[in-house]
Amino acid sequence: MTTCERQTGFTLIEVIVVLAVMGLLLGTAMPLAGAVVQANRRQEAQDELARIAEALDAYYFERAAFPASLQATDFLGVCLQPGPGDTVVFDPFGAGQTYVYAVNAAAGIATVHSRGENGVDNGVNNEEHVVRVFGAAPGARRTRQRLRVIVEVLANHIESGGAVAGTWPQLRAAMGLGPTYDADGFGTTLRWTASTHTLESAGPDRAFGTADDIVL
C-alpha cells in the first residue's frame, strides 16, 4: 500500500499574489509616511514662528528696534531660547537654512516666513507660514509704562515747587530720573512743553504732530 504526502511550501501563484499585495501595501504606505513627515514639519514651523514672534515683540519692547538677524547674539539665547537641538530659527523646509527674516524699519514691521513644502522662497506674500510683528504694539506699551512712572515723579516735582523750564532731558535730570526716560518706546526723545505742562511721544512714526502721537 502506498501513501501520498502533502507537499509543503508556496506555489508560484501564491508567491505572485503575496508579492502583489506587498507591493500595494508599500505603494500606499510610502505616500502616507511622506504626508506625516510634511505635516510634522508644518506644525514645527507654525510653533517656531509663534515663538519667534513673541521674542521679537519682547526685543522691541526693550530696545525700540528689531534685531539685526534671528541669530544676533543679543536676540537668540536672550529673548529667544534656542530650543532642543538649537533649531528654533532653522526652517524645517529650508535644508539647514534659517527662516527668512526681513525688517521694514520705516514702517516698524518685522516679517518671518518659512519656505514651505517646496523648499523655495517664493516671497513673503506667497508663503503659507508667515508671522508679522508690528513695533507699534510693544513700542506703545513701553511708552505708556514710562509715562506712568514719569507722571508720578513729575507731579511730586511740581508740588514741591520744582522748576519745569527747559527741554525734557533737562527736566528729567532735575527730577532725578535716569537717561532711560529721555526717550519713548520707539527710541524718540520725548518733547516737553513747559507752558502747558505737556509731555509728548512722537509715536510709531517718530514724527511729532501726527495722529499717532501719545500725549501726557
Q: How many residues does the structure list for the chain?
A: 216
Decide: 207 and 190 in contact? Cβ < 8 Å: no
CA gap 37, 191 in Å, rounded: 55
Q: Predicted confidence band at 140 (pLDDT cuts at 50, 70, 90)?
A: very high
**Pairing mode of beta strands 109-113, 130-134:** antiparallel
How large is the average pLDDT for residues 22-32? Answer: 64
Distance CA 141, CA 194 (A): 25
pLDDT digits (tens, 9 = 90+) for 37-55: 778 889 999 999 999 999 9
pLDDT score, position 9: 59
Mean pLDDT of the chain: 89
Q: What cell does 16 get?
A: 505572485
Question: Distance between CA 190 and CA 184 in Å, rounded?
Answer: 6
Q: What is the reported pTM?
A: 0.80
**Exposed, middle or buried, 152 (CB in 10 Å: 0-12/13-18/19+)?**
exposed
